[in-house]
């Protein structure tokens, strides 16, 4: 396997696996928030505000994964050669 192919696979795995957790977390968070609003509609403002804040924190992790994937893909690194 060439060095270029390995970096392409590493970048794909970084963004794929790095966005899997936040995607599941955001889905669960939204589901629980909608359940809470259904049980207590008067608290919908507070619940939705907290939900949006938590989604922003979860999405930041996916953005970190994107940055790592782009760094793997576009930052040139010479392979270590031991003589």
78 lies in some domain:
no
Write out pLDDT tens, residues 27-80. 999 999 999 999 999 998 999 999 999 999 999 999 999 999 999 889 887 767
**CA dist 46 to 30, 54, 55, Å?**
14, 12, 14
Question: What is the dihedral angle through the alpha carbons of 18, 23, 28, 31, rounded to the nearest 10 degrees?
Answer: 170
82 lies in some domain:
no
CATH code (residue 61): 1.20.20.10
- Mean pLDDT within 6-32: 92
DSSP string, 11-57: HHHHHHHHHHHHHHHHHHHHHHHHHHHHH-GGGHHHHHHHHHHHHHH
Asked if residue 17 lies in contact with residue 68, where contact means CB atoms within 8 angstroms, the answer is no
| Domain enclosing residue 21, as ranges | 3-73
């Amino acid at each position: 396997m060439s060095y270029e192919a390995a970096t392409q696979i590493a970048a794909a795995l970084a963004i794929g696996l790095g966005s899997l957790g936040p995607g599941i977390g955001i889905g669960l968070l939204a589901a629980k928030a909608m359940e809470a609003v259904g049980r207590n509609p008067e608290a919908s403002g507070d619940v939705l505000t907290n939900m949006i804040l938590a989604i922003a924190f979860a999405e930041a992790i996916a953005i970190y994964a994107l940055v790592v994937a782009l760094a793997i893909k576009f930052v040139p690194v010479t392979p270590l050669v031991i003589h």
